[in-house]
Structure formats: structure tokens, C-alpha cells
Structure 1
Amino acid sequence: MVDPQTIERWRNAPRLTSFSTFFQRTASQEGGVPDIAQPEPDLSLLDFDLDCAVFAHSHARLFGGFDGHYYASIPYRLEEQIRLGAGIYSFATRIWARTAKPATVYTLGAGTGCFIRTLAVLGDGRLKTLCCSATAANRDVFLANRASEHAHFFFGPFFALDSERYIADPDLSDFQNGFDILFEDTTFQMFDRDRVRQLEFIAPRIKPGGILLQVQKLAQQDPLVYDEREWQKDELFKTRYFSRQNISEKKSEILNTMSDCQVDLPTTVTALRSFFRYSVVIWNSGNFYTNASSNARSSLLEFISSLVKPAIPPAYCYEALPLVLTDTQSEPIAPALAWRRANAVCSSAPGQRQDC
């Protein structure tokens, strides 16, 4: 159990204090939103995979105020979210088929909950989904376009969802036994640098055989490397969607402060080893990384094999993926890792064009 002093430190963290106005204003579309163009997925980076195309179509219809800002701020994050969504849906429905019970998915700190609302719509009762946010505007967007009775929202920070809350709140009854997939999306970096305490709080909520996904912006041991990747993000990607003034205002308002709570990859690995036998980097875009972790080798292999290859131009990816962070000598996961082949939308009928 996390000590009260840590909880109190999180209550006074930037996300709930100095950043709160920024998130409320952006989620309400009063500022911080793209002022040049709105992000749209490039399905060619996903090899026109049919499962990804289906997820992308449903996902786009559920966008809310904060989503445009998020996907325009991180290079190719939208394509990665679609790739993850298709993979999670496949993994979760296999759990439902084996157990005859709905799979449970929790996105921790995911804005309007667009991602889990999409999963709930596609799952149609085969998935039960939950997200949390401490921003009232995100709650309002969620409730205005909930889209499925199987999608649930908790209004508050992640650390308010303790064991007692799951028992006391009838709307959380589907999640009392934990989650098959728990997805921490750029949340820890808004609270503090102590990844061990943060994982200590959420890891017990992951079911046996479950998966932890994390999207984090990591510090680099060489500050020049970090700055070069930031320049690439700001100058070559974000300028497609934001004016330079908009980019400059965000940097001064939030990014400079947020860097104080970032950790590097070695620190991340040390924390993950305290809780998980296996951990793999499955996506990298500049300073952003997606990790998948589990104590069940078979589950992690099944999940990773449900993903098409990372959907990102090589110039933005600085790691050879998948990159194993933690493994075991007795049952190593590294030799068995493989992405699935794309199920291309293109027709293969005789006499028809093969390109998309």
C-alpha cells in the first residue's frame, strides 16, 4: 500500500495544480487546440490493415475536445493508438471467448476516454472499459458522447481509485476484480518521478495474466539527444497542425514544468523489474515510448503478436523494435517476439489492382 505522504504529494502535483487550468481550457477547446489542421490517421503506415481501419473509423467518430490536441502534439501517436486499439480489441475478445466473461480495460488518464469508448462500442458487452480524468471538461465530453453503456468514467485522479472506491461505487462493480489490460497514458509524468511508488499503486489492479501498457515521454541521458528529438517533433511535425505561436505558448506553459517529472529509460527498467518478469518497448517516437509488461509470458506474446508493425516513419523511431527491457533466463520472451502480418484492405481478386 502506498503511504499517505506519497498520496499527499500526488495531490499537490503539477497535474492537479499548475496544469489544471491548461487541461480544462484545452478540453473545452478554449485554447491549445490545433489552429492549422486537425490530425487524421495515415492508414498507409498501418499497411491498410483491415482491423486497424475498422478501429480508426469508429475512433474518429468519438473524438472530443482534448483529442485533437493530443494527437497533433506527439508524432504519429494517432496511428499508434489505432494500432494498439486493434490489438487490444483482438486480445480482449480472446479473453472473453475463453472465459465467457467480459474482458476489462482501464485507461489511466486518457482525456475524454475516446479510446475506451471506441473499444466499448466495438466490444458490445464483450469488453467493459473504464477511464479516469480529473478534468471536468473531459467528463462532460465523455457523458455527452458515451456511445456505449459498457464504457465507464471516473471523475478524479488515478490514485483516488483505491480498493475501497471500487467496492463502494456501484458504477465500478465490473472492475472490482481488476483489469485484463491497464493502460497508463502519459499520466505518471504529470505527478512525480517515483515510478516505483506509482507502479506499486496500480500493479495490484492487474489480473493474473494481464498486461500493463505505458506511454511515457522519457528523459535522455544526453540532454542534446533529448533536445534534438524535441526539435524534430516541434519543427517537423507539430507545425503541420499548430502555429508557431501556439507551440511556443504550450512549451512555456506546460512542457518546461513537466520535464521535472520525467525519468529516463534505465530508471523505467529498474521500476518495471520490481513488478514484472517481462517488459518490451513496442513503439518509439522521438522521446516517447510505449512499453508492454506482464508476468505471464504467454499473455505478452499473444498481445504483441496481435499488433501490426509500428506505424511510424523510420526517421522518428530511434529504437530497434520490439526492444526487450526485462526478460528471464529460464523462459526468455525475446526469441519468440513477432508482429502479425497486416490483413490488407486491398482486394486480391483476379484482374483488380493490388495497390491501395
Structure 2
Amino acid sequence: MDRLTIEHWRNAPRLTCLAAFFETTASGQGGAPDLAQPQLDMSLLDFDLEVSVFSDTHRRLWGPFDSHYFASIPYRLEEECRLGAAILSFASRAWARSASPTTIYTLGTGTGCLARTLATLGNGRIEALCCSPTAANRTSFFAKRASEHAHFFHGPFFELDDERYATDDDLLPFRGGFDVLLEDTTFQMYDRDRLKQLEFVVPRIRPGGLLVQVQKLAHEDRDIYEERERQKDEVFKSRFFSTGHISKKKDEVLNTMTDLQVDLATTVAALRAFFRYSVLTWNSGNFYTIVSSNSRSSVLELISLMVKPAIPPGYCHERLPATIVDTEVEALAPDLTWRSANTMVPLAPKLGIMK
């Protein structure tokens, strides 16, 4: 990557005007929900056994920043557990085929709770890396590391370059690249140029590997964007944060981040430059999960391991899964399907499963 781009990212909001907010929140000195703590709603996940097992470990490994994060994005907690359970199954299948660990990089995921959960449940079948420039996130990571297969890099994503991988012994498991790279609402804090950002990270994805992104997207109709924001703040976040807390965060953080968001069309154009396939697998207001790969079989396998999106209809504005990048010769769309929930009937008697 050229020097000017790196310098631009180094002076981006995440490392300058937003740095104090993230440090304060990650250390538990501010930003925490002041009305209630977020709780996983298993009914939205049809009381699925695999998600329940994943979520139990996931909740035990939260750090201070996680409660803030999951109380801020509608049903993001359910999505992380749904996605995490699918990635765990994906890695388990890979181990059965090759007896080699799956390498996973969660780029910009705060305390690295997802990475630590996957490493813990993978028990040697997964090597997981996360990065954050926030010192308090590093403290949280190692306070509940839970597995020697969970690794942390203290710094922004763009410092993990080829030289760093080649010379840092702590990064030895990842020198060959990643089978799954998850970018979580991070690019939008550094720049609007998604092509440059993808150009930096995509070469680290192994052949057959996957890019998973959780993105907050702009909308061509500003009124629609703002209406979704009002729903997020007034209907969802108001369960966890007082009005004053919501207003303060909007002034301190969200207005800055909005300037660096891009819309779906821009996102698709950037992804198309690197991938044959991209699929929307989740939508909550202005937030989306996007799975991309050059391997048709890898995309189909991961999505087939996901239960249906755990989101009330009023928050979801897409028919999912939705292919946004595809090929004509080997089209992906006709074969996309969710798995059925492995429902724990005693915990969900009202579902009438045994009738």
C-alpha cells in the first residue's frame, strides 16, 4: 500500500478524534448501558442448540466494550451468535477434511470476544486473531483470553502488513493467510475508499477463503436512512440507554462516522473488483452482513450452516439471502439456503414442534 494512503488512515477519526471515546468505553469508565444489559433472545433463533452452545461461551467472555456494542445495534448480539455458530461449524468441517486448523481474523472487533469464543470452542481446530488500536481492548482480551489459540495485535489493521507477519513470532500461525476474515464496522472509521481498504486485506485471504463484513451503509434516500436511525435509537437503544446517553454518543461518534459511510452500490462495485460472489446474509436498519468469496462452494457451505436471520421483520428491509455479486456461468443465487434450526423443544414448548 502506498505511503500517502497509510498516512491518511493514520490520521483518520478512529485514531484521532474518536480514540478517547473507544478507550473510555473499552476500559469501562463510560459508555456502558445505564438502563439494562443486552440479553440474547433465543426465540428469534428458534432455540437452536448450536447457537445456544456458542452463545453461552460468548457471554462468559464479554469485556466492557461488548455490552455497549450489543446494546447499540439492533439484534447485533443475535447476529454475532448466529454467525459465530456457523463459522465454528464451517471450521469443524474443514478440520474433518484436512486435520488443519482454520485461521480466522476478526478485524476491528473490540475486545475480540468473537475470536476468543471461536478459539475456545475450536480447541486447537481454530487459530483466531483480532486487532484493535485501543489499549483497553487488549487488556480485556487477555483478562479473558480463554485459549492459547486466541491472538491479539495491538494496533490498527493497516499495521498488519507483510513485513509484520514475516517478522512477528506471535503472528506465526497466520503467515499463510486466513480462511475467514471478518471486518466489523471498521473501514467506515478510516476512509470512504473501499477499494483501497479491500486491496490491503484481500491478499491475506487464502484460496477458497471468505470475507465477512458487518457494515453500516449510507442510503441514497436520506429520509429512509434517518428513519431507520430513529427506529434504532428510539425503539431499540432506548431499552438500554437513557435519552441523554443516546444523544451524547450521536454527537461524539455517530455524526463523525456517517461521513465515512458508503452506500450499497459503492460497496457492490468495490467487492466486484475482488470477488466473484457476494451475498447479503443479514440486515438490521442501516446495518448489513455481507459474505464474499471467489469460491462458490465456500459461500454455499457457510450460508448453509446459518439458521435464518434472527431479526424482527420491522427491522429487516431485504429479502435474505440476497446475492449482490454473482456469475452467469456458475450462478450462486439458485442454491442459497439456510439450515433448519436444531430446536431444543423443552425450552420452546410453544413452537408446537412435536405436534
Please give the range of the TM-score, normalised by the shorter of the 2 chains: over 0.9
2:301 aligns to what? 302
For residues 166 and 146 of structure 2, the distance between their equivalents in structure 1, rounded to whole angstroms, comes to 25
Would the aligned equivalents of 1:13 and 1:191 in 2 still touch at CA under 8 Å?
yes
Q: CA deviation at 1:167?
A: 1.1
1:334 aligns with 2:343: no
1:110 aligns with 109
Map residues 22-171 of structure 1 onto 2, 5 A cutoff: 22-171=21-170
Partner of 1:246: 245
Unaligned regions of 5+ residues in structure 2, if any?
Answer: none
Distance 2:31 2:221 in 1: 29
Root mean square deviation, CA, Å:
1.0
Match of 1:183 in 2: 182
Deviation at 1:145, TM superposition (A): 1.0
Q: Distance in 1 between matches of 2:122 and 2:114?
A: 12
Q: 1:243 is matched by which residue type in structure 2?
A: S
Distance 1:256 1:81 in 2: 25
Counterpart code for 1:96 = W
d(CA) in 2 for partners of 1:287, 1:29 = 27
After alignment, is 91-100 or 62-71 more displaced? 91-100
Query: Equivalents in 2 of 1:347, 1:285: separation in Å?
Result: 29
Residue type at the aligned position of 1:110: T
Helix, strand or coil: the match of 1:281? strand
Q: Which residue of 2 aligns with 1:274?
A: 273
Give the C-alpha shift of residue 97 in structure 1.
Answer: 1.4
Q: Does 1:231 align with 2:239?
A: no
The code of the aligned residue for 2:94 comes to I
Displacement of 1:354 in angstroms is: 5.0
TM-score after normalising by structure 1: 0.97
Is residue 347–residue 354 contact of structure 1 (8 Å, CA) maintained in 2? no
Distance (Å, rounded) in 2 between the aligned partners of 1:29 and 1:234: 22
Q: Deviations over 1:114-153 (max 9, x none)?
A: 1110001100000000000000000001111100000000
SS at match of 2:163: helix
Q: Once the two structures are superposed, what CA deviation does each residue of 1:238-288 show, in whole Å capped at 9, x if it has no partner?
A: 000000000000000010011110000000000000000000000000000
Q: CA deviation at 1:341?
A: 0.3
Q: What residue is the counterpart of 2:254 in the other structure?
A: 255
Instruction: Give the equivalent residue in structure 1 for 2:323.
Output: 324
1:301 deviates by 0.3
Q: Distance in 1 between matches of 2:92 and 2:318?
A: 30
Supply the distance in 2 between the matched residues of 1:310 and 1:339 (Cα, whole angstroms).
9
- Distance in 2, matches of 1:225 and 1:266, equals 16
Deviation at 1:95? Answer: 1.1
Q: How far, CA to CA, are the matches of 2:42 and 2:183 in structure 1?
A: 25
When normalised by structure 2's length, the TM-score is 0.97
Q: Which amino acid aligns with 1:154?
A: F
Secondary structure of 2:345's partner?
A: coil
Q: Which amino acid aligns with 2:327?
A: T
Q: Is the counterpart of residue 344 in structure 1 residue 343 in structure 2?
A: yes
CA shift digits 1:11-33 (9 cap, x unpaired): 00000000000000000111111
The residue number in structure 2 matching 1:285 is 284
Residue type matched to 2:117 in 1?
T
Identity of aligned residues (%): 65
CA distance in 2, matches of 1:254, 1:124: 37
* 8 A Cα contact 1:280 1:323, kept in partner: yes
Distance in structure 1 (CA, Å) of the matches to 2:15 and 2:202: 22
Q: More displaced, 93-102 or 295-304?
A: 93-102
The alpha carbon displacement at 1:94 in A equals: 1.0
Deviation by residue 1:50-89 (Cα, 9 ceiling, x = unmatched): 0000001000000001000000000000000000000000
Residues 309-334 of structure 1, C-alpha deviation per residue, up to 9 Å, x if partnerless? 00000000001111110000000000
Structure-2 residue corresponding to 1:221: 220
Counterpart AA for 1:207: R
Alpha-carbon distance between aligned partners in 2 of 1:139 and 1:347, rounded to the nearest angstrom: 40
Q: Secondary structure at the match of 1:261?
A: coil
1:347 is displaced (CA, Å) by 4.8
The AA in structure 2 aligned to 1:288 is F
Q: Would you identify which runs of 4 or more consecutive aligned residues in structure 1 move more than 4 Å?
A: none
